Amino acid sequence: MYGQRPQTRMSGLGGLTGGAPPPRDLLVLLAVVFVTFSLQFFATTRIVPDLLRLSPLVWQLGFLWQLVTYPAIGYGPPSLWFLLELLIAFWFGRDVFWHLGRRRFWRILGLAALAGSLVAVATALLAGAAGGGLLAPPFVLMQGQRTLLAVLVAAFATLYGRATIYLFFVLPIQARWFLPIEILFAFIGFLGTRDLAGFLGICAAVGATWWWLRSGGRRLDLRETRLRVERWWLDRRLRRLRKRRGFTVVEGEGKRGPGRGDGYLH
């Protein structure tokens, strides 16, 4: 179906290809989601997902771990739709895992989850500070497998943008269009739940996934950034001295950027 596969191509369900072995990490992750989903329906074990799921306890009691644990905590009523969400997450996550490798796979999940939760929590806090409050209980749209599925689909759409996926098993569409489709689905969910924090959290998670993969996962070099700022400030200072006191700025030979270099006054 597409030529960017890490393994031999084979026909698969729903237009996705098979052939690649199921990644153990992905299977363990989905198993954890299923187990935590089941725990919420028993009185003696309900506390476990409650402590790990994203909630206002993040700022009320300092439960900061919820900012990154919530995607692994299954959410929703008992229905076949939950199993379908896990199946779709497996379809997309398998290709994403083999493309990125274990380390980058977990890194992108962690980054996207943290970005989504920070935006969602900030939205909830700002709404509370404004005095109006949120329109509904926060974070419903982004709990558990919903954020996990959104991140994996966004990663697939970014990595395999020209791949053809059969939407609803019928409509052929290029994978890159799943990015705006995800946002559209999240907006429809917002209209039904009025969960503004959850909607913006999903948007942030999808956006962080797209940005990280498009940028190649480059880390921000803080030392280089500091040196660039210092060089810019020194250059501005030299130019001000030249204008005020009639000095002449002579550019040095060791330039490190366009129009920037070491200089001295005479």
**SS3 assignment, position 254:** coil
Strands 171-174 and 164-167, how do they pair? antiparallel
Comparing 254 with 180, the larger pLDDT belongs to: 180
Q: For residues 220 and 248, is the Cβ–Cβ distance under 8 A?
A: no
- Model pLDDT for residues 94-141, shown as the tens digit of each residue: 999 999 999 999 999 999 999 999 999 999 998 877 765 565 678 999
Quickly tell me which residue has 């700002």 as its tokens.
126
pLDDT given at position 103: 92
Query: CA-CA distance, 96 to 156, in Å (whole number)?
Result: 6
- Model pLDDT for residues 157-207, shown as the tens digit of each residue: 999 888 877 766 677 778 888 899 999 999 999 998 889 999 999 999 999
pLDDT given at position 163: 80
> Beta partners for 251?
263
Q: Where are the domains of the chain?
A: 13-214, 223-265
pLDDT given at position 48: 94
Query: CA-CA distance, 170 to 266, in Å (whole number)?
Result: 74
Name the class of domain 13-214: mainly alpha
Comparing 239 with 154, the larger pLDDT belongs to: 154
pLDDT given at position 42: 94
- Model pLDDT for residues 149-158, shown as the tens digit of each residue: 999 999 999 9
- Model pLDDT for residues 35-63, shown as the tens digit of each residue: 999 999 999 999 999 999 999 999 999 99
Residue 258 CB partners (closer than 8 Å, separation 6+): none
Q: What is the DSSP letter of 253?
A: S
Nearest to 148 by CA among 172, 117, 122, 123: 117
- Model pLDDT for residues 198-230, shown as the tens digit of each residue: 999 999 999 999 999 988 655 444 455 566 667
Comparing 121 with 233, the larger pLDDT belongs to: 121
pLDDT given at position 169: 64
The encoded tokens of residue 207 equal 């956006």
Q: Taking 60 as the threshold, does the pLDDT of residue 259 lie above it?
A: no
* DSSP one-letter string for 24-90: HHHHHHHHHHHHHHHHTTSTTTTHHHHHHS--THHHHT--TTHHHHGGGS--S-SSHHHHHHHHHHH
Q: What is the DSSP letter of 132?
A: S
Q: CA dist 198 to 48, 83, 183, 206, 230, Å?
A: 21, 21, 12, 12, 40
> Beta partners for 263?
251
* DSSP one-letter string for 207-237: HHHHHHHHTTTPPP-HHHHHHHHHHHHHHHH
Single-letter residue type at 195: D
- Average pLDDT over every residue of 24-33: 95
